[in-house]
Amino acid sequence: MFPCVLLMTADNGGDPDAELLRRAGKGDRDAFGELFSKYGKRVFRVARRMCSSDEDAWDITQDAFIRAMGAMDRFDPQYRFFTWIYRITTNLAINYSRKRRRRREVNFDEAFDGGGRQTTAPDLEERAASEELVRAVRRAVEKLSPALRSVFVLRVDGELSYSEIAETLDIAIGTVMSRLNRARSSIRDELGELLEEWE
């Protein structure tokens, strides 16, 4: 099914997904299903955090898998599959986010409230102090530039290590650390006094 996948089995012995990729490359439905089960939700989560709507997140997730599996000939076997697909996801999400920003039609906070992402009913949310803090965090994260937001999301949502983030975004670890610090500092600055409630 994905013939180019077969080319990448020799050098990436460290990638725990190599065998799955090899089987998926032969059209093995179960192997593909296993890969998707392993990364589909994670990719969706990163995409959803990076963009402003469920619809975009679904599109990005679908696009990311199709691109990743369909363009394996450009996959560098020194990397791991999950960093490859995260890279595609973040790039796609940044493009979507630029698009949305230009249209100025999506309010991040409203999109979240209306997009089914909330765990709390709106009326309770208004009254709950903790929810106010969470919303403040959302607003603060939304204000981050795509470069800072992607590092923050990969670290906090994706729970990637600094080296994995560096590999995903193809940047130096030092850059990861500085961007992460700037992202966190910016969020804390935005929260201001609200932050004391968490201290």
Partner 1 sequence: MNCPEFGKLMMYLDGELDPSARDDVEAHLGSCRRCRKVLDSQRNLESAWREDFDLPDRADFDQLEEAVFRALRPRRRWMAVIPAAAGIMAVLLGLKLILVSGPSPESGARTVFSEDAMFHGGFRERAEHLREVDLPEAVEEETMADELEAVPAEMRDISSSPDPAGPSDNASAPAAVEEVSERFFATTAEEPDMAFGLVQEGQAAGGIGYGSDHDADTAEEPAGVIETVTVAVSRSVADDEFLQQAGREETFTLVFDAEGLPDSSTAVLLDSLLPGWEDYIPFENRDTVVTVPAAEAADIIGGW
Tell me the C-alpha distance between 49 and 155, whole Å: 12
Asked if residue 30 lies in contact with residue 12, where contact means CB atoms within 8 angstroms, the answer is no
Asked if residue 55 lies in contact with residue 44, where contact means CB atoms within 8 angstroms, the answer is no
Nearer to partner 1, 108 or 177 (CB): 177
Helix (H) or strand (E) holding 4: none
- What residues make contact with partner 1 under the rule CB under 8 A? 1-4, 27, 29, 32-33, 36-37, 40-41, 44-45, 48-49, 54, 58-59, 61-63, 65-67, 69-71, 73-74, 91, 94-95, 98-99, 102-103, 116-119, 130, 133-134, 137-138, 141, 155-157, 161-162, 177-178, 180-181, 184-185, 187-188, 191, 195-196, 198-199
Minimum Å gap between C-beta 170 and partner 1 is: 9
Which pairs with CB-CB distance under 8 Å and at least 24 residues apart come from 94-97?
A: 94/50, 94/146, 94/150, 96/50, 96/51, 96/56, 96/59, 96/60, 97/50, 97/51, 97/52, 97/146
Nearer to partner 1, 16 or 27 (CB): 27
Minimum Å gap between C-beta 13 and partner 1 is: 25
Minimum Å gap between C-beta 71 and partner 1 is: 4
- The phi and psi torsions of 104 (rounded to 5 degrees) equal 50, 40
Minimum Å gap between C-beta 117 and partner 1 is: 6
Nearer to partner 1, 14 or 27 (CB): 27
